[in-house]
Chain A
Amino acid sequence: SQTIHQWPATLVQPVGSPLSLECTVEGTSNPNLYWYRQAAGRGLQLLFYSVGIGQISSEVPQNLSASRPQDRQFILSSKKLLLSDSGFYLCAWSVTKGAQPQHFGDGTRLSIL
């Protein structure tokens, strides 16, 4: 069966520091991968998605970037964090885009001080 792992679960970082959140998927090949941010009381905001290694689409211009160095690895990064980057970040995978369920990791709670 397929599993998705995200780490760390929680992270506290100072403003201006770099960020690296990692997500890996097991049990499937060539998944579609997604990074979302979830604000309290709001729907999920799609940040990036990837259909293959090295292929990244950015949905919202901002202080973050994503990379997919391996088929089942998706990384969310920032060179300099802003206070507004605080939030709950979720990684997800799916077989296809828009026609099959997306399956989510347990998220990273990021707090910027």
Chain B
Amino acid sequence: GESVGLHLPTLSVQEGDNSIINCAYSNSASDYFIWYKQESGKGPQFIIDIRSNMDKRQGQRVTVLLNKTVKHLSLQIAATQPGDSAVYFCAENDNNNDMRFGAGTRLTVKP
């Protein structure tokens, strides 16, 4: 997963631009991945998931890309809006089928 630390990576984008949030995972045997959005003071909200037999999956304004060769996952948000401002984190399943969560990236959308 992402590096663990007290200071989250941050991404600042202009309203209307596209956002790309990245996640590096460590377990080559992981076969299921999830992206979550967490607003301040709330629980994580499921955005989109992808299984390892796919490279790309699209939702409403979001796309997840999976590159198994380099163990990299990304979340693309199209036409980013102020309501998209939140912490985004990825999760992968491990050998015990527990989900391992990254620390997240803080997305700030400037109006």
Contact = CB atoms under 8 A, between A and B. Distances in A.
Interface of A: 6, 40-44, 46, 49, 59, 90, 92, 97-99, 101-107, 109
B6 A103 contact: no
Range, interface on chain B: 20 to 34
Interface SS of chain A:
loop
Contacts of A40: 6
Closest 6 CB pairs between A and B? A98-B97, A104-B43, A98-B93, A43-B101, A44-B101, A41-B6
A101 B34 contact: yes
B44 A90 contact: yes
Contacts of B8: 41
Nearest to B42: A106
A105 B97 CA distance: 21
B45 A104 contact: yes
B98 A101 contact: no
Contacts of B21: none
A107 B98 contact: no
A97 B34 contact: no
Nearest to A106: B43
Contacts of A6: 43
Interface string B1-26: 11011111000000000000000000
